[in-house]
Structure 1
Amino acid sequence: MYKVLVVDDEPAIRQGLLKIVDWNALGFCVVGDVSNGKKAVACHKELSPDLIVIDIRMPVMDGLQAIREIRKTDGDCQFLILSGYADFAYAKQAIEMNVSGYVLKPIDVDELKAELLRIRSSLDRLSDHGLSGTQADALREELILKLIAADPADASELEGALKPLTGFAGEYKQIMLVEAEDLSLAGLGNLESIKTRWLEAAKAEGLGYGFQTGPYVGFLLKEDLSRPSAISQWTRFLQDACGTNTSFTAAAGRIAHKLADVRQSYEGALGVLKSRFLLAAGQIHIETETDLSHFVSAPDKNVPPNLEALALKLCYTLDLGRIEGVAEVLEETGRALIAFDSSETAIKSGLVQVLSVALSNLSVHHQSVNVQDYAPLLAELYLHSHYDGVMSSVHSQLAELAGRLGGGGSLNVVKQVMDFIQRHYQENLKLEIIAEMYNYNRGYFGRMFKQHTGDSFHSYLDKVRIQQAIRLLGEGHKVYEVSERVGYPNVDYLHYKFKKYVGVSPSSFKGAQPKAKTFSLETS
């Protein structure tokens, strides 16, 4: 005989249930009847019933609240809901908490008997296994693990063994895998505690059946995640169990219609988590919806990213004080790295190279920039477990540096570029690259620069170089040395520019100063 507790706030209904059903003939023995959920929770602790027949709307504590309380300590007790038509939405919520079924009021005796027979059959199957609640949990987890690893030929047999240990509200099955990430670096103990809370809470809430596989906590979901409300419920559930110092990454595979097919759902979730580094933390990613294409445009695995060019662009952006440009260059760098090799190691290594070169180049022109000050930032990148975290950390520090070097943006664009040329005249400066940093069209920026300076960009650059060449020649440097130091590719080119702007050859500046043309670098 299986023990039954009847819970309803109407005495007539409780007495009617005791009389209209031959409980003993159906294999049940009524051990008590109470009038509200609070008394039901107390009686459950005292009597340990196998089945609770319970109304939803009751004073003091309603039926749903009572089920939640009981589920915190008992995942095996069966529940049969009594519900009026107006309470059907509540009944659906109860079904999601692993109840066995519901019967509408006014009660149809034949329907009630059919539900009781179905529940007894389920209890018989568990009893045949000779399992306690804890043993049933262990066997269920073992069978789930076997099923997700099984050969398709063995799946049907495992499904038959697993079915009596599960109860699904719907026809769809889905596997979700969750990985806990300790942001406080408190250690393995904290992560294991999080995993235990997930498993215990999922059982208590009746959300699904948990298991552990490798670094993941897995769930055989009792409701698929196709509905936004289901994802929201699971996301809140996982976040609440994590607390403030731990996050998670979760992925769910495709929906399966049979338990025998959940292996495909498991493999799909596992496939999504292979890109864990690129996934956002604290969210559930669905196999059918996960799309990482926003990271990559026209990837070419055969063409490695030009890290030197990216580093130079980042250096220029910082030197120009372009705070808003920092995010753009970092995004471009990330896309290039991911397109070539999307592994976590390759992305982090490439980013560290770009940052190291950019900061080293920047320190040559700014005494306030010490590369060693950014060593902790470079080391910290390897501690982040997600791409978004890496880029956010880098952006916050580089944006601060750009703001500091740009003087808070008080200089107008042309003045910033003029100062920039004074610092980088010896490099291969290109108008289109600098224009791009300000999101200007090359032609428009060139006209704007000439309007403010009276010179084209390249003429202004030539004048700065010639001015520096005159200084170096006056200090006794050889012509070929000066050519290299001011950024001209060869001595002939220096001769050509000298004749154009000064009117004499650079060699004539050795010793006494000749009479030469004059030119101005002031804005007009």
Structure 2
Amino acid sequence: MYKVIVADDEPAIRQGLLKIVDWEALGFCVVGDVSNGIKTVALHQELSPDLIVIDIRMPRMDGLQAIHEIRKTDGDCQFLILSGYADFAYAKQAIEMNVSGYVLKPIDVEELKEELLRIRAKLDRQGRAKMSEFHADALREELILKLIAADPADAPELESELAPLTSFAGKSKQILLVEAEDISQAGLVYVESVKTRWLELAETEGLGYGFQTGPYIGFLLKEDLNRPEAQNEWTRLLQDACGLKMGFTAAAGRIVYELADLRQSYEDALGLLKNRFLLTEGQIHMATEPVLSDIATESNRHAAPDLEALATKLFYMLDLGRREGVAETLEEAGRALVAYDSSETAIKTGLAKVLSVALSKLAALHQCVDIQEYAPLLAELYQHAHYDRVMSAAQSQLAELAGRLGANGSLPVVKQVMDFIQRHYHENLKLETMAEMYNYNKGYLGRMFKQHTGESFHTFLDKVRIQQAIRLLKEGRKVYEVSELVGYPNVDYFHSKFKKYVGASPSSIKGAPSKATTFSLETP
């Protein structure tokens, strides 16, 4: 039975139509009747009828306006117009909107039956065509899935079956795989609706043939995505189907020229999507393009990164207030992590460790830094589905932190280095490290420093350390404790340095406070 809605502003005519026509005998079932165009549009959205018998002259919204609104979303619904006005203008507008028939009032029952029978025949033909098309689509999808998984020996036979069901403007063929991402917690129903829209894209746009394989929607493309115009068009179509609630990651395999070789293109695309975390969301990635250092294909291809050293470097950059240095250090850490183990878990875990250590050191040095404020950032790193989003979140918040701490950022570089030594004298500071942080040549920075201070970097560092050592010794600390606290792990080395600058041993300062006061050290 085909569903029918009757729309006429005269109740007597609506009731008469329901009684004078044996709808069921003609293959129809009346599912509703309404009195104006607005109600017609609303009921169409609710019931999706196959036929609407509609009057032209109705209040609020006439029949032609209602048909125009419905045609915006439904090209299949049939319309049979009723009108008491034998006006060609109405008929012309109706023809332009692809209506099925036009019956004048007063209604001739036999004429109405003939029109309904003609419309039913048309609906039957459309139904058979859709069924045939459905079977063809199902068979084509089945053959595509078999081909992308087939042994090379079986591929030619499958190709011969698939070829008649496809049409290509050119000889090139390519597989595109797309994975949906719920970026706004829209839910499974919305995800599935987006996948359905994607499958419809290939057919409605005439760009290829859709299929579903595991979590991916696939397309056997009719044109080469290496062409920028084609890639841009597909990107736009995928984005439009997603709306604002969904994202996607897409990968295209190599170009092949025989259907039997589809498996190669499919495996290329699948290989890229297995590294989805390293791919940018909302773009189509090509198998021929390098992806973040070519994406590590084997674990432990490089040595494990020194996360402690990277965290220390990040800590220094934050303490100096160098936003550019913070971004560069994060990128360096990311590249090192990817080169060693490109899995999502390993990268996120390693990056979280680098940030945690750097922020802990910073909080110990600056009272204004509360590490608890950055707990949400560390949690957020695990929520992002893509590397670039993780890095963007980290860079954004750490750049803001560097900006707050960078009060000395406008000072000359040598003055910044001097202030830095005063805060970090107890660490393993090297001129090479400082030069790297400021993107200077080591020799050039060393000459600048000596010209400004009159002393070499290492002499200045030693003097700051010895000055701090005298303070600690006066507080009653043990010599070996002071040695480590000021940055000399080897206590004998500390003794030699102390005697060089003070002219006495550390124990003499500790054991003779009155004498200790005679030792002085020029403040750097």
| Same-fold call, TM cutoff 0.5 | yes
Q: Is the 8 A contact 1:72 1:205 kept in 2?
A: no
Aligned runs of 1:18-417 on 2, under 5 Å? 131-293=131-293, 301=301, 303-407=303-407, 409-417=409-417
Q: Is the 8 A contact 1:72 1:204 kept in 2?
A: no
Q: CA deviation at 1:493?
A: 2.2
Q: CA deviation at 1:130?
A: 10
Q: Structure 1, residues 170-204: CA drift from partner, whole Å, max 9, x if none?
A: 22221110112222132222222221111122211
Q: Is the 8 A contact 1:71 1:206 kept in 2?
A: no
Q: Structure 1, residues 275-330: CA drift from partner, whole Å, max 9, x if none?
A: 2222222221222334543678xx97252111111111111111111111011111
For 1:12, the equivalent position in structure 2 comes to: none
Q: Distance in 2 between the 1:421 and 1:513 partners?
A: 29
Q: CA deviation at 1:158?
A: 2.4
Q: Distance in 1 between the 2:302 and 2:377 partners?
A: 30
Q: CA deviation at 1:431?
A: 1.0
Q: Is the 8 A contact 1:72 1:201 kept in 2?
A: no
Q: Distance in 2 between the 1:243 and 1:501 partners?
A: 70
Q: 1:188 to 1:439 in 2, by over 3 A?
A: same
Q: Distance in 1 between the 2:520 and 2:294 partners?
A: 54
Q: Is the 8 A contact 1:178 1:216 kept in 2?
A: yes
SS of residue in 1 equivalent to 2:288: coil
Q: Is the 8 A contact 2:359 2:371 kept in 1?
A: yes
Q: Is the 8 A contact 2:253 2:264 kept in 1?
A: yes
The one-letter code sitting in structure 2 at the alignment partner of 1:217 is I
Q: 1:440 to 1:177 in 2, by over 3 A?
A: same
Q: Structure 1, residues 69-124: CA drift from partner, whole Å, max 9, x if none?
A: 999968xxxxxxxxxxxxxxxxxxxxxxxxxxxxxxxxxxxxxxxxxxxxxxxxxx
Equivalent residue in structure 2 for 1:521, among 506, 514, 523: 523
Q: 1:409 to 1:365 in 2, by over 3 A?
A: same
For 2:14, the equivalent position in structure 1 comes to: none
Find out whether 1:463 has 2:441 as its counterpart. Answer: no
Q: Is the 8 A contact 2:321 2:409 kept in 1?
A: yes
Q: 1:147 to 1:507 in 2, by over 3 A?
A: same
Q: Distance in 2 between the 1:139 and 1:210 partners?
A: 12
Q: CA deviation at 1:444?
A: 0.9
Aligned length: 405
Q: Distance in 1 between the 2:128 and 2:262 partners?
A: 25
The one-letter code sitting in structure 2 at the alignment partner of 1:512 is P
Q: Is the 8 A contact 2:210 2:219 kept in 1?
A: yes
Q: CA deviation at 1:234?
A: 0.8
Q: CA deviation at 1:506?
A: 1.7
SS of residue in 1 equivalent to 2:154: helix
Q: CA deviation at 1:212?
A: 0.9
SS of residue in 2 equivalent to 1:178: strand
Q: 1:292 to 1:324 in 2, by over 3 A?
A: closer
The one-letter code sitting in structure 2 at the alignment partner of 1:478 is K
Q: Is the 8 A contact 2:320 2:409 kept in 1?
A: no
Q: Distance in 2 between the 1:408 and 1:241 partners?
A: 50
Q: Is the 8 A contact 2:181 2:247 kept in 1?
A: yes
For 1:438, the equivalent position in structure 2 comes to: 438
Q: Distance in 2 between the 1:279 and 1:474 partners?
A: 58
SS of residue in 1 equivalent to 2:153: helix
Q: Is the 8 A contact 1:174 1:253 kept in 2?
A: yes
The one-letter code sitting in structure 1 at the alignment partner of 2:503 is G
Q: Structure 1, residues 431-456: CA drift from partner, whole Å, max 9, x if none?
A: 10111000001111112122222222
Q: Distance in 2 between the 1:303 and 1:318 partners?
A: 26
Between structure 1 and structure 2, the one with the greater Rg is 2
Q: Distance in 1 between the 2:397 and 2:286 partners?
A: 33
The one-letter code sitting in structure 1 at the alignment partner of 2:214 is G
SS of residue in 2 equivalent to 1:272: helix
Q: 1:295 to 1:370 in 2, by over 3 A?
A: farther
SS of residue in 1 equivalent to 2:521: coil
SS of residue in 2 equivalent to 1:293: coil
Q: Distance in 2 between the 1:184 and 1:70 partners?
A: 28
Q: Distance in 1 between the 2:359 and 2:72 partners?
A: 60
Q: CA deviation at 1:410?
A: 2.9
Q: Which moved more, 1:241-250 or 1:430-439?
A: 241-250
Q: Is the 8 A contact 1:321 1:404 kept in 2?
A: yes
Q: Distance in 1 between the 2:411 and 2:184 partners?
A: 42
Q: CA deviation at 1:154?
A: 2.7
For 2:513, the equivalent position in structure 1 comes to: 512
Q: Structure 1, residues 316-357: CA drift from partner, whole Å, max 9, x if none?
A: 111111111011111111111111111111111111111111
SS of residue in 2 equivalent to 1:175: strand
Find out whether 1:449 has 2:449 as its counterpart. Answer: yes
Normalised by the length of structure 1, the TM-score is 0.72
For 1:485, the equivalent position in structure 2 comes to: 485
The one-letter code sitting in structure 2 at the alignment partner of 1:513 is S
Q: Which runs of 5+ in 2 are unaligned?
A: 1-48, 52-70, 77-126
For 1:55, the equivalent position in structure 2 comes to: none
The one-letter code sitting in structure 2 at the alignment partner of 1:427 is E
Q: CA deviation at 1:221?
A: 0.8
Q: Distance in 1 between the 2:402 and 2:258 partners?
A: 57
Q: Distance in 2 between the 1:70 and 1:372 partners?
A: 54
Q: Distance in 2 between the 1:388 and 1:73 partners?
A: 42
Q: Distance in 1 between the 2:271 and 2:480 partners?
A: 59
Q: 1:474 to 1:501 in 2, by over 3 A?
A: same
Q: Percent identity?
A: 70
Q: CA RMSD in A?
A: 2.9
Q: Distance in 2 between the 1:160 and 1:71 partners?
A: 38
Q: Distance in 2 between the 1:212 and 1:154 partners?
A: 21
Q: Distance in 2 between the 1:307 and 1:187 partners?
A: 37
Q: 1:302 to 1:250 in 2, by over 3 A?
A: closer
Q: 1:389 to 1:501 in 2, by over 3 A?
A: same
Q: Is the 8 A contact 1:71 1:205 kept in 2?
A: no
SS of residue in 1 equivalent to 2:135: helix
Q: Distance in 2 between the 1:161 and 1:262 partners?
A: 14
Q: Is the 8 A contact 1:426 1:487 kept in 2?
A: yes
Q: Distance in 1 between the 2:207 and 2:73 partners?
A: 11
Q: Distance in 2 between the 1:381 and 1:218 partners?
A: 30
Q: CA deviation at 1:368?
A: 1.6
The one-letter code sitting in structure 1 at the alignment partner of 2:522 is S
Q: Which runs of 5+ in 1 are unaligned?
A: 1-44, 48-68, 75-126
